[in-house]
């Protein structure tokens, strides 16, 4: 199936390329766009298929797209960085929300 994806060198494309290589799949790229917001409308208009976060895929399903879950799932680690100086109250609250909860 032709793919709608971000260009090589983006984190999403790197993740996708590694997964396809490990599965022995040589992708056919229909559209490369650096505008992630353009992927969903391109898929809905029939330009190709795409790999999207689950929430976005569910939103597209409500608009008529066919959604299939990946097995195994694709995951990536995302880090949070901030300045060393004191944070604003809003920034402190955000950092606390983003930190993993410690098990006791």
Residue-wise pLDDT tens digits, 20-49 = 999 999 999 999 999 989 999 999 999 999
32 in Cβ contact with 12 (< 8 Å): no
Q: How far, in whole angstroms, is CA 50 from its chain's centroid?
A: 10
Give the pLDDT band (50/70/90) at residue 103: low
pLDDT value for 29: 96
Own/partner contacts of 24-32, CB < 8 Å, gap of 24 or more, are: 27/3, 28/1, 28/2, 28/3, 29/2, 29/3, 29/5, 30/2, 30/3, 30/4, 31/2, 31/3, 31/4, 31/5, 32/5, 32/6, 32/7, 32/8
pLDDT value for 104: 56
């Amino acid at each position: 199936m032709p793919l709608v994806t971000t260009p090589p060198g983006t984190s999403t494309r790197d993740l996708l390329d590694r997964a396809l290589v490990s599965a022995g799949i040589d992708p056919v790229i229909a559209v490369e766009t650096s505008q992630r917001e353009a992927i969903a409308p391109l898929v809905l208009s029939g330009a190709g298929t795409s790999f999207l976060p689950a929430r976005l895929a569910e939103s597209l399903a409500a608009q008529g797209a066919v959604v299939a879950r990946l097995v195994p799932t694709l995951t990536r680690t995302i880090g949070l960085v901030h300045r060393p100086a004191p944070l604003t109250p809003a920034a402190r609250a955000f950092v606390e929300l983003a930190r993993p909860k410690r098990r006791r």
